[in-house]
Each structure stands twice: as structure tokens, then as C-alpha cells.
Amino acid sequence: MTSTAYPDGGTVPRRFTCDGADVSPPLAFSGVPAGTRSLAVTVRDLDAPGGTFTHWLIWDIDAGTRRLSAGAHPRGAVEGRNGFGRTGYGGPCPPHGDHPHHYVLTVYAADRRPPLSPAASAGASPDDLRRALSGHTLATGTLTGRYGR
């Protein structure tokens, strides 16, 4: 996974944070294995004061997708509940004065669509998605960005 917004290990531009437009960054996927039926993406802050904090979880992205534009919500994809308690993307927003946090974006190539019921999908947690992908992930890719305030 790559982004035209920043390189792996680079600084997340303000536009993609709570201090800016708070939209998801543009993403590109390559090396998606044969047999992939669905893609999923998570964004986690590994340095959050209370432990790992999830900023975004989205799944049921069509397996043929190779790019997501900034702020995209692909047709048919489902977003779950982030650490802010709402559905959708919530950008990096570390406490003022903290050292820059590391935000890990992970793409999962799965051999099936995660079996999360439509009624429960919007409220699905990171653990729900992780369980649904367990044993069905063909490959993963990551992109790490840093952001401090």
C-alpha cells in the first residue's frame, strides 16, 4: 500500500487529520493476490495514551480496486465504528504536546467478504473485523505515517 500524500514513515499532511479536512488519504494497492474476493483497510494509532486507537475500518472493498482517492467511500464498501465512537474515518488527532504518533494503515486481501451482517456492520468494532478476517487473509500491506501537534 502506498499514498501520494506521504511516503512510508513520513508525516501525515494536516488535510488528513482532525486539524484539517479530516478526510482519508489517497491510497494505492499493488500485489493483490489471485483469489482475493475483498479488501479491507484499517488505520490504527499505536501510540495512543490508552492503547491502540482505531481511526478507520472499512471492508467489502471490491477486490479489483487498486486506488482510493482522498475521502473516498467505494461503492458497496462498509465502514465500522472507530475509536471516536462514530462510523467512518477519523484522522490523526494526538494530544497537544505529545510526541508524534505512528499511524499504521493496513490493507487486508481476503479470500471472502467478511461475514458481518448488514444490520451489525455499521456498529462493527475492530475486533469484529479482525475475527471476520481471521484465517481468510491472503496478504497484507502497510503504510505508516507520523503526526504530532
Cα 28 to its chain centre, rounded Å, is 12
Residue at 9 is within a domain: no
pTM attached to this predicted model? 0.94
Distance CA 49, CA 31 (A): 34
pLDDT band at 115 (very low <50, low <70, confident <90, very high): confident
* Degrees to nearest 5, angle at CA 143 with 117 and 6: 120
CATH code of the domain containing 64? 3.90.280.10
Residue at 6 is within a domain: no
Residue at 5 is within a domain: no
Q: Residues 13-38: pLDDT tens digits?
A: 999 999 999 999 999 999 999 999 99
Residue at 57 is within a domain: yes
Residue at 7 is within a domain: no
Residue at 36 is within a domain: yes
Average pLDDT, the chain: 94
How many domains does the structure of the chain reveal?
1
What is the per-residue pLDDT for 127? 87
Residue at 54 is within a domain: yes
Question: Which residues have C-beta within 8 Å of that of residue 101, sequence separation ≥ 6?
Answer: 45, 46, 47, 48, 92, 94, 146, 147, 148
Range of the domain at 107: 14-147
Residue at 2 is within a domain: no
Quick one: average pLDDT of 127-134?
92
Does position 98 have pLDDT exceeding 70, yes or no? yes
Grid cell at residue 21? 479536512
